[in-house]
Amino acid sequence: MFPIAICDDSPVARAELKRYLQRYWDDRGQQVRIREFAGGEELLRGIPAETRIVFLDIEMPGLSGIETARALRERYPALCIFFVTAFTQYAIEGYSVHAYAYLKKPVKYGQLCQQLDDALTTLQRERPHFITMRRGSSTVLLNSRDIQSIEVKRHTLIVSYATEKESFAMNLNDVLPQLEGHGFSQCHRSYVVNLAHLSRITATDLVMQNGELIPLSKYRRKAFLEEYAQYKGGIV
């Protein structure tokens, strides 16, 4: 069940947005839990810690939406914040609290759907995803989000992170199915890279964020570039 909060001093605006959100999740056959708050102070007191998205009115008595968002951002850095407002002059202030998007009142259902589709894609990529590795008789869980690349060297997999590496006596075929659909691409028969950590593409190599230089096979180049373009197309 996806947890969402709505904060608006207008009961009519809250009811309309709640109806749209319920319709959005119903259309996708999924469940949503929506909590309503009439002001910033009430939201800060009562927002559930597991909330993933909050819709904030900007013009409210007491704490404004910007002030409320600033306090929320300090407490929940990963929270996705939507501002819902009839006033567009607040857009610049919104950047200071890393607002995800603005929805102009009155909210249009089509616009809401598009913004939510994008937000959920981004949130999905930010969630931890663990893969299972073997080290002797032990099982090790790795968060794939932290992995920059995996190199195959004989019967060993060398996993590279931002500042370190570790090795596992495994085959690549044991790992590839676990990485499918999570932003990884095989650029060479001996290398798999995490596209989220890709810094630059040259004619023959990939430069990762940790500075690692990884060969880009001429036989895989076309497919790799297509996968990378598709991956970037889903990021806001």
Last residue of a domain, one of 126, 146, 165: 126
* Closest listed residue to residue 144, CA positions, set 158, 163, 129: 129
SS3 171: coil
93 and 49 both lie in a single domain:
yes
What is the bridge-based pairing of β-strands 130-135 and 101-104? unpaired
Domain count along the chain = 2
Last residue of a domain, one of 75, 104, 126: 126
What is the bridge-based pairing of β-strands 213-215 and 184-188? unpaired
**How many angstroms separate the CA atoms of 81 and 73, rounded?**
9
Residue 177's pLDDT is what? Answer: 93
14 and 122 both lie in a single domain:
yes
Mean per-residue pLDDT pooled into runs of 10, the chain (236 residues): 93 96 92 95 93 92 91 85 77 65 89 90 76 88 92 95 93 93 93 94 95 96 91 55
134 and 121 both lie in a single domain:
no
Write the CATH number for 229: 2.40.50.1020
* Closest listed residue to residue 193, CA positions, set 174, 213, 173: 213
25 and 46 both lie in a single domain:
yes
Decide: residue 172, CB within 10 A, 0-12 exposed, 13-18 middle, 19+ buried. middle
SS3 91: helix
Instruction: Look up the domain containing 35 and give its range.
Output: 2-126
64 and 113 both lie in a single domain:
yes
162 and 108 both lie in a single domain:
no
Contacts within 8 Å (CB) and 24+ apart, 132-136: 132/178, 133/157, 133/159, 133/168, 133/170, 133/175, 134/168, 134/169, 134/170, 134/174, 135/168, 135/169, 136/169
**Which H or E element spans position 73?**
helix 65-75
What amino acid occupies position 15?
A
Cβ contact 147:159 at 8 Å: yes
State the first-to-last Cα distance of the chain, in angstroms, to the nearest integer: 24
141 and 122 both lie in a single domain:
no
153 and 183 both lie in a single domain:
yes
Residue 90's pLDDT is what? Answer: 55
Q: Show Cβ contacts of residue 111 under 8 Å, excluding neighbours closer than 6 positions.
A: 103, 104
Last residue of a domain, one of 96, 126, 156: 126
Residue 236's pLDDT is what? Answer: 32
215 and 104 both lie in a single domain:
no
